[in-house]
Structure 1
Amino acid sequence: MVIATNLGFPRMGAKRELKRLVENFWAGKIDENALLSGAKKHREEHWSLQKNAGLDHIPSNDFSFYDQVVDHSYAFGVIPARYKNLKPGLETYFAMCRGLQKSGVDVEACEMKKWFDTNYHYIVPEFDSNQQFNLNATKIITEYNEAKAVGIQTRPVILGPVSYLLLGKPARGSPQEFEPIQLLSKLLPLYEEILCKLAEAGATWIQIDEPCLIRDLPPTLKDEYTSAYNALTKVSPKLKILIATYFERIGTNIDFIIDTPINAIHIDLVRSPGQLEPILKRLPSTVSLSLGLINGRNIWTANLDDALAEAQKAVTALGSERVFIAPSCSLLHTPHSVQNEKKMDSEMLGWLSFAVEKIHELVIISKALNCGVDSVQAELDVNRKSIQSRRTSSRIHDPIVQEKMKSLTPDMFKRKSPFRERQQKQKQKLGLPLFPTTTVGSFPQTKEVRSIRAKLKKGDVTLAQYDEFMNKEIEKCIRFQEGIDMDVLVHGEFERNDMVEFFGENLQGYVHSENGWVQSYGSRCTKPPIIFGDVSRPKPMTVEVIKYAQSLTKKLVKGMLTGPVTMLQWSFVRDDQPRKDTTYQLALAILQEVQDLEAAGISVIQIDEPAIREGLPIRKEDWNEYLQWAVDAFLLSSCGVDCSTQIHTHMCYSDFNDIIEAIQRLDADVITIENSRSDLKLLNAFEKREYTNEIGPGLYDIHSPRVPSTEELKTRLKEILKYIPKNLLWVNPDCGLKTRGWKEVEAALKNLTDVAKEFRAAEAGC
């Protein structure tokens, strides 16, 4: 029989129950026992949901309070020395994720990076060259036993040993030649111990995620993969091991594992449908194949006829007993359920499939294969109607937008003069000092701000009352920045629920969910808007609010926009046309806003593009095509202004070495970047490639509640000056301040501007 299975389920819950649980614990509103018991209940609900839907293999250990990688680090004792004096358990765990600052304790968080090409983040493991591993937590076994206690047999999910090491980095002070993969032989015994304990507890299948198998890997890693899985498959004859890959094709990396005695391989047939037939030809007769047929990263209803046709190829080649039906990747990257959407029209709802619905799609496919198509004929008929409805809907295409796309010219993709000429004109017009200070954009979204936005949506306050409240928040923000002598101010973005969702709400071609939340990092969730058709801007989106903020001060106020690639990456995107075309449509809409801001007298305009690196294809052979259109989209959105208008952009949590030439080609006058968690290593790229435009490396980490001292900021700024010339350097935090509290923001920014003025005075004294 074909097996219906899942690789992972969203953690937050239908109504973000886990988010509230964790944040209440951080705030001291509940104790550790309440946190742990609430999390246990949450997990049991999700296991029952999947069992009742008809899945055969249900994952466990896909739950996390922050992310699955830091869970492994804690479990294996990979805890950096700076946390050694903290209380073991949740205090240490959350300090690794968020940092900790309290009564004599002040430790920074570990580095955070994007999980492959998603907007989900993970905490980067830090390995010492003499790393001593120890199994100091049993979360994996505990959660398996929890499910078993309520009558649910699960398939525990573990991040594979090779990928875990490859995703980490050498700890501070490690020898230059040290690479974490050298620790594999020391780490494997802990994996063997975990598998042994799971076998003793009654587990029969283990899912070991090896997502790095879809990267460009050196042939030398074959020995590591072979030794790892030759060892792990011998732990217990009771255990069967499935190696899961996702987000791309496994390609020739299949050679690394194909000759090991594993029991199954999972492949992503959404991102790489062409890999099915080559793998069918290579698969040993003892190995089953898990087919990633349902998109785990987008929200459109699957074409079940197409999925069935693909699945049938595998069944014909392997037999039904060796075929699993699965999502392309963990459903972590999709919202909980369409059932929570009460305001969306029925036609649009019929086009959508969130995590719960995707599980039903998996079950329909497996039932059709096991019991015949007639057994699910009604479900298939509904699916065909949905696919046809979306394909033929008049809501999808806009002739005016299509005509604009045909009218693009080469001049629309380049600034009117080179940077050096623009820089001089901007200096004359803007009059900024050395080491100019600014923030990346947003200020704290307080409970009061969120409350009045909710009241407006419910009709409990009028638009005039809402605007009056927001204007007061903007004025408070402006006055605070004036008070600490910030050089380029922002209005705070209080009217924006999210940097992408806000603009999506003001553009045609988007639709919005009420509860389509997905996890970004820790308790932070986003609600990606949905691009279903051609995108256009009906009217100005930010001009009036920025004009109001500028009217309050003689200092410069930045116009704040989200760039086209980030709008694409952080939305659920239509899949019926090339992503390039959708991005250009977004760029044209943003260009209109940029030009209207300039016409309104705004001389500094920031177009955020934190997701350009995120969107980079995983395989290097696919990079050039993507970078060409991604950079062109930014240029299209930003180049239609005068030379004296200063264009800023922002990027965060990126390996800039990979895309430094593309960043230079963006030709932004100023770029601000995340830098604080990366030990300044990101700046090497800008120094080595002689980056010529102005740059603001983040001076402190806004994802942590700790407040950096002036001494810490001075030390960091001195280090930055070793890489960036003083005449190009801006002083700023590493990201927006939306998730922080006012008290810590006020203290941190006061320290930041004081340090900039001190450095400025020192230069003047010279």
Structure 2
Amino acid sequence: MVKATNLGFPYVGSQRQTKKLVESFWSGKISGDELKASILEIQQAHWKLQKEQGLEHIPSGEFTLYDRVLDTAQQFGAIPQRYQHLSPLDQFFAMGRGLQRAATESTEKVDVPAMEMKKWFDTNYHFIVPEFERDQEFTLQAPRAVEQFKAAKALNIHTRPVLVGPVSFLFLGKPGKGVDAFDTLSLLPKLLPKYIELLKQLEEAGADWVQIDEPILILDLQENVKAALDSAYKAIKGQTSLKTLVAAYFGRVENNILAIKDHVDALHLDLVRAPEELDTVLPLLNKDQVLSVGVVDGRNIWINNLEKSIALVQKAVAALGQDRVFVAPSCSLSHSPFSTSFETKIKEKNPELFSWLSFSVEKCAEIVTIAKAVNGQDVKAELAANASAVATRRTSPQTVNPEVRDRVAKIPTEAWKRPSPFATRREAQVKKLKLPLFPTTTIGSFPQTKEIRVARQQFTKGTLSQADYDTFIKAQTKEMVEAQEKLDIDVLVHGEAERNDMVEHFGHLLHGYDFTQNGWVVSYGSRCVKPPVIFGDVSRRCPMTIDEIVYAQSLTKRPMKGMLTGPVTMMKWSFVRDDIPANELCAQVGLALRDEVVDLESAGIPCIQVDEPAIREGLPIRRADWDAYLDWSVGCFRLSTAGVRDETQIHTHMCYSDFNDIFDAIAAMDADVITIENSKSDEKLLKIFESKEYTNEIGPGLYDIHSPRVPSVEEMKQRFADMLKYIPAHLLWANPDCGLKSRQWPETNAALANMVEVAKHFRAQHKA
């Protein structure tokens, strides 16, 4: 019989319990033992829920307190020297977020930065990048997969353990700090015995299947990587009797499958992203191999078209037989919210939209329904309800606005580009803004204090009036402007006290968006986001930021930045509709933002920042698909910003991605000033300036805002001196890596004071 299976479940919990527990541990409210016991209760509830739904292969071992790749690094002993003196739990979190702790009578001072963080392929999830030494030794210590398998087994739930694959783990890592470049895959012969030891422990514990995630199978791989995959799975097959399912997701495996196909018992394909691969892979499978067909979208929130999915699964069954097919989500459901059962507001106010939604719990039910249908069981009622909802979504007037589509169709050619080149614009901006050398600024947000969060909750619940809330936000804005003036920052921001999220805030002010109550997904660590839902054509309801920014500008004579989220990020960081082309939707958003940018300029705002942190994240996995994407995504950014005069300075911000390979596209965005993550990535970005000319202004981040750690003036001076080796002084800005929303005020003031001191130090040097 075809089996209903799952690859992973949202470890954040139904109500973000994991986040709250972890943060309680960080703040000292609960102990490590209390954290572990409470986390086990969440895991147990998840396993029971999936079993009750009828899944036959339930994942275990994928649950994490911070990041699965970081889990893998710690359990195989890939721990940089700077963390090795810490206890295991402190060590784990210090690697992920840094740790700064004063000395006490019984403990020494601790001051260690976090490891590098990068986007997980083309998602908005961030993973911690492993670090390796040339002579790296691996040890197997407290493997989570074994612990979680046994915990589920104690409940009489037989799970399928999940591991990050050895080749992906090494490939996604990097040489440690101060280590010369080397091929991290050269460590595979040392790592493999430890993986095999782990597999044997799972086998001894009673596991029969293991899921090994090798997401790099969807990349354009060099021959040495394919050779590493071949040798890894040949060794695993030869030394364990566990059945192995190797999972690839987020794209096409293409001929990479040839590297592993003779050494694994099952292969998982993402047939949501690449349905065409079913026809190419089926003939390649050996006579006993199982195919796991990922036909339910693990990354979006729309109901599955069961009829289409059943047809794909039936095609696989026709070629392989029922016993050799698993039905699965396209990827782990950790990228999807928990359950629509919490979405009472949408259900009440827009039942049609609610009928189109499917979160993780509902996706598990879809998987089971598909498997039952292919197995010949009676699911007529489920199929009829699904067909009705699919049809109404396709034809509903909620999804189509003829005026918006007509405006997109008639965008004039000149609207896609600013009329003057940067050199001309810079001359006008220097004259207007009169900024010093090495101008200082921040990325936009300031700490979202408990006071701000409580006021927002009261306003949302109706216990705080609009007038009182507006008065409160103005007071917060005034304090933030005064704080920046006291710090002597050059280009100010209003602090975004009124914004809960950089995408959701704008979504409320645009047609075509709606919002969940509990649609949380993890972005990094304990940081969760609740993406808006784009279900229809997008246009601006009304001016979105004018009142707040104009008020902030009235409080200071220094230039104030208007703050907007760019069109690509508005799409990528939403649960985006999948019924029209992405470039068409992006142009709709770009036009809505263009209207706002023009209005900000008309209101006297001299600098306008349109953030695009997701533009690299949206880059297609395969290089063959890059040019088309970069053409429309960069074009839509320019569409949103090109309606202003030369003297209006356009800023943008990007963070936590590999930007070097799209450097030319970033230059083509033609922002006057770009601020970009730098402090956690070992200045990799800066090195591209050795071979590429960038003529616009740029602010590589001076310090990491994702850690509570406050870097010293001397540390920042060294980082700024490194920047000056690559970037001309007249183009260089001083700023943090990202927004300060998640930080506390004491550390924010301390870090920004150090940053301003560094900028002034180098100004004095250059004057001399």
TM-score (normalised: structure 1): 0.98
Residue matched to 2:224: 220
Query: Secondary structure of the residue that 2:397 maps to in structure 1?
Result: coil
Aligned-partner Cα distance in 2 for 1:122–1:346:
36
Letter in 2 for 1:96: M
Residue matched to 2:106: none
Query: Secondary structure of the residue that 1:649 maps to in structure 2?
Result: strand
Aligned-partner Cα distance in 2 for 1:585–1:99:
40
1:312 maps to 2:314: yes
Are the counterparts in 2 of residues 295 and 302 from structure 1 also a CA contact under 8 Å? yes
The aligned runs of 1:190-589 (5 Å cut-off) are 190-237=194-241, 239-260=242-263, 262-344=264-346, 345-372=350-377, 375-589=378-592
Determine which of 648, 669, 672 is the counterpart of 2:672: 669
Query: Secondary structure of the residue that 1:233 maps to in structure 2?
Result: helix
Are the counterparts in 2 of residues 656 and 685 from structure 1 also a CA contact under 8 Å? no
Task: Give the Å deviation of 1:402.
Answer: 1.1
Residue matched to 1:100: 99
What is the number of residues matched between the two proteins? 759
Aligned-partner Cα distance in 1 for 2:88–2:337:
30
Letter in 1 for 2:80: P
The aligned runs of 1:142-161 (5 Å cut-off) are 142-161=147-166
Q: Segments of 4+ in structure 1 off by > 6 A?
A: none
Task: Give the Å deviation of 1:84.
Answer: 2.3
Residue matched to 1:13: 13
Aligned-partner Cα distance in 1 for 2:691–2:742:
34
Are the counterparts in 2 of residues 660 and 686 from structure 1 also a CA contact under 8 Å? no
Residue matched to 2:69: 69
Task: Give the Å deviation of 1:241.
Answer: 0.4
Residue matched to 2:36: 36
Query: Secondary structure of the residue that 1:371 maps to in structure 2?
Result: coil
Are the counterparts in 1 of residues 690 and 726 from structure 2 also a CA contact under 8 Å? yes
Task: Give the Å deviation of 1:175.
Answer: 2.8
Task: Give the Å deviation of 1:137.
Answer: 2.0
Are the counterparts in 2 of residues 221 and 256 from structure 1 also a CA contact under 8 Å? no
Are the counterparts in 1 of residues 8 and 334 from structure 2 also a CA contact under 8 Å? yes
Task: Give the Å deviation of 1:136.
Answer: 2.0
Are the counterparts in 2 of residues 195 and 235 from structure 1 also a CA contact under 8 Å? no
Which stretch shows the higher mean deviation, 304-313 or 215-224? 215-224
Listed one character per residue, the Cα deviations across residues 84-110 of structure 1 (whole Å, up to 9, x for unaligned) are 222x21101100001111122211110
Aligned-partner Cα distance in 1 for 2:227–2:668:
40
Residue matched to 1:169: 174
Are the counterparts in 2 of residues 51 and 58 from structure 1 also a CA contact under 8 Å? yes
Aligned-partner Cα distance in 1 for 2:689–2:621:
22
Are the counterparts in 2 of residues 8 and 332 from structure 1 also a CA contact under 8 Å? yes
Task: Give the Å deviation of 1:399.
Answer: 1.3
Letter in 2 for 1:134: T
Letter in 1 for 2:714: E
Task: Give the Å deviation of 1:371.
Answer: 2.8
Aligned-partner Cα distance in 1 for 2:20–2:177:
34
Aligned-partner Cα distance in 2 for 1:209–1:741:
37
Task: Give the Å deviation of 1:409.
Answer: 1.4
Aligned-partner Cα distance in 2 for 1:131–1:76:
11
Letter in 2 for 1:118: T
Are the counterparts in 2 of residues 291 and 311 from structure 1 also a CA contact under 8 Å? yes
1:109 maps to 2:108: no
Listed one character per residue, the Cα deviations across residues 516-571 of structure 1 (whole Å, up to 9, x for unaligned) are 00000010000000110100001000010000000111111100000000001101
Residue matched to 1:606: 609
Aligned-partner Cα distance in 2 for 1:440–1:240:
49
1:182 maps to 2:181: no
Are the counterparts in 2 of residues 145 and 201 from structure 1 also a CA contact under 8 Å? yes
Aligned-partner Cα distance in 2 for 1:115–1:94:
19
Residue matched to 2:130: 125
Query: Secondary structure of the residue that 1:273 maps to in structure 2?
Result: coil
Are the counterparts in 2 of residues 7 and 59 from structure 1 also a CA contact under 8 Å? yes
The aligned runs of 1:126-141 (5 Å cut-off) are 126-141=131-146
Query: Secondary structure of the residue that 1:648 maps to in structure 2?
Result: strand
Task: Give the Å deviation of 1:406.
Answer: 1.6
Are the counterparts in 1 of residues 62 and 145 from structure 2 also a CA contact under 8 Å? no
Listed one character per residue, the Cα deviations across residues 493-521 of structure 1 (whole Å, up to 9, x for unaligned) are 11111000101111000011011000000
RMSD between superposed Cα atoms in Å: 0.8
Query: Secondary structure of the residue that 1:55 maps to in structure 2?
Result: coil
Aligned-partner Cα distance in 1 for 2:690–2:517:
45
Listed one character per residue, the Cα deviations across residues 417-470 of structure 1 (whole Å, up to 9, x for unaligned) are 110111111000000000000000000111111111111111011001111111
Task: Give the Å deviation of 1:62.
Answer: 1.2
Letter in 2 for 1:235: Q
Task: Give the Å deviation of 1:687.
Answer: 3.8
Identity %: 56
Are the counterparts in 1 of residues 401 and 537 from structure 2 also a CA contact under 8 Å? yes
The aligned runs of 1:727-746 (5 Å cut-off) are 727-746=730-749
Listed one character per residue, the Cα deviations across residues 158-215 of structure 1 (whole Å, up to 9, x for unaligned) are 0110111001011122233x11000000000000000000000000000000000000
Query: Secondary structure of the residue that 2:671 maps to in structure 1?
Result: coil
Letter in 2 for 1:150: L
Structure 1: state its 5+ residue gaps: none
Aligned-partner Cα distance in 2 for 1:619–1:334:
24
TM-score (normalised: structure 2): 0.98
Task: Give the Å deviation of 1:646.
Answer: 0.2
Task: Give the Å deviation of 1:719.
Answer: 0.8
